[in-house]
Structure 1
């Protein structure tokens, strides 16, 4: 595909992003974004961005499929479907963002249509359902549920956490932290996790060579800015090692170069501001990982800040003095905190 065709392909995927809130996401928009990269980098950026968007862009249709899957999943409702749906409480306790309310609205509409059941949000029950789009580090879900558990102290109940997908370490960490909290509080709460199996992506350290996130190889140290960044922060990066094995997200011939380009420009973006939080990393927000979380998941609602900065940093309406004016985003976010 030519660069023009790739721009059009990307625009087709993201055309309904946030229902056009930030303007028309057409071919010209994509080209304006990719022009910020060096001329010899643009084709790789377009090829790989097109690839991962086609694989990992969560559309509104994905939300609808999740709702249908929840209603028909025995993992969710257990042995007695009718009793479960007649007694379940749908948690709406998300303290940041609107994804949960949006999903709950879709879910309640469908449940009313199928079972004629209404008014199930935040009721007292022995069966609770927490729905969200995706688990990245698990921090947001833990924050929501830990606050709710401490406030309500539910006992003899089950909480089913349902998402479209998750990163494996994020889900593992979340489960362990919630189990520890439940034990500390001395309450009897059973946890259940449910998602589409093909949306469970690898990001565990011991499986870094098979990772499905942006996880650079040592070739990035060819970039002086990367070496300076490592030395400035005293980092000791755990690099991915090429193994030649097919990856479900990245293409084998272009992955190394793609990661290198996004890291280079992510560092450039970091340099626009002198007051970055320590969690702001070139490959996405993360507390621990040196280069960032490196998420490859996108959503029509909002681009996760766990994704590389090159995708979402910036605001074309920002004044010239503001750091956000220095980069034109492919998928603009409506908030830069959290």
Structure 2
């Protein structure tokens, strides 16, 4: 549990009572005890692996990932001063605060290196868009709609996902797309996926099967063989299957209580980018916020005992209502 404890202590939106390892452990156990006991060991095993394999971006790593873009050889073609002198750093994100924070870090890194950047978008030859996570690329697509296409545009999320990267790149061939970390989520590679993606064995559980079929989901898209290769995100296949089963079942219970409007946006494993999907199944987090593309059981609900949400989250998220 040590990796989950570290993540919770780093997390900006943790409960106010969480101030040390002991209180972090109590918080995690409070969340965990909402699941049937038969699932709890598998959930802790899986989540601890995720938090410990680099998919929880703590503050130090977050700053480092942003700062290193200042002298990134691929982005700058091995000439940072020449590149940034002609490049305007975008701060155009319509939803969220991640880009503003990341741009500030990048600009501080450039200042420290005594590298000047273009401060007038009209005079710039290049535009640079920095963000933390890219799941569906929906937000990025909206943000860049009105950009000047005569300029060379580079987009760099810290983490992106293979299918959505391919789809976005295929529709925006003129854009230079970079990243620090890529996670596998293509249907053709479902058995090597690095997101939460339930296994066909879950259909042996009648509760899972009932909720799955009630949503009109198709079991042919479920994983059907153990992960092949060296999956650093989910090395314990048995624990993964149990964890995904638990997250879907409890997530479906949460989903059933959502408004009709929210049901169109979310499914048990997070925001739903595909028609009739079970949710994105995101497996990456940062110290600043929990993405809505991750399973509902992780972020939905309230820390308050007086809440009517009827769910205590592990990492409550800050939404876009600003």
TM-score normalised according to structure 1 size: 0.85
1:314 maps to 2:301:
yes
Q: Secondary structure at the match of 2:82?
A: helix
Contact 2:7 2:287 in 1 (8 A): no
Measured in 2, the distance between the counterparts of 1:273 and 1:14 equals 26
Contact 1:90 1:121 in 2 (8 A): no
Partner of 1:277: 263
Structure 1 counterpart of 2:208, from 226, 232, 235: 226
Measured in 2, the distance between the counterparts of 1:243 and 1:47 equals 17
Partner of 1:24: 18
The superposition leaves residues 33-77 of structure 1 with CA deviations (integer Å, 9 ceiling, x where unpaired) of 111111222111111111111121011222222233212222111
Greater relative CO, 1 or 2 (CA 8 Å, sep 6+): 2
The superposition leaves residues 2-34 of structure 1 with CA deviations (integer Å, 9 ceiling, x where unpaired) of xxxx2x542222212116575526111111111
The superposition leaves residues 254-290 of structure 1 with CA deviations (integer Å, 9 ceiling, x where unpaired) of 2111111111111121123343331211011113152
The superposition leaves residues 131-156 of structure 1 with CA deviations (integer Å, 9 ceiling, x where unpaired) of 0012111111111112x32xxx341x
1:305 maps to 2:288:
no
Partner of 2:45: 47
Q: Secondary structure at the match of 1:18?
A: coil
Measured in 2, the distance between the counterparts of 1:23 and 1:219 equals 39
Measured in 2, the distance between the counterparts of 1:103 and 1:123 equals 22
Partner of 1:241: 224
What is the correspondence of 1:85-100 to structure 2 with a 5 Å cutoff? 85-100=84-99
Measured in 2, the distance between the counterparts of 1:249 and 1:129 equals 30
Q: Which runs of 5+ in 2 are unaligned?
A: none
Contact 1:221 1:227 in 2 (8 A): yes
Measured in 1, the distance between the counterparts of 2:238 and 2:51 equals 18
The superposition leaves residues 67-95 of structure 1 with CA deviations (integer Å, 9 ceiling, x where unpaired) of 33212222111254322121210011100
Q: Secondary structure at the match of 1:169?
A: helix
Following TM superposition, the consecutive aligned residue runs of length 4 or more in structure 1 with deviations greater than 6 angstroms are none
Distance 1:336 1:154, change over 3 A: closer
The superposition leaves residues 196-235 of structure 1 with CA deviations (integer Å, 9 ceiling, x where unpaired) of 2xx2110001111111111111122233343333433433
Q: Secondary structure at the match of 2:47?
A: helix
Measured in 1, the distance between the counterparts of 2:13 and 2:304 equals 18
Q: Which runs of 5+ in 1 are unaligned?
A: 1-5, 180-189
Distance 1:266 1:48, change over 3 A: same
Distance 1:244 1:214, change over 3 A: closer
Moved more, 90-99 or 18-27: 18-27
1:330 maps to 2:317:
no
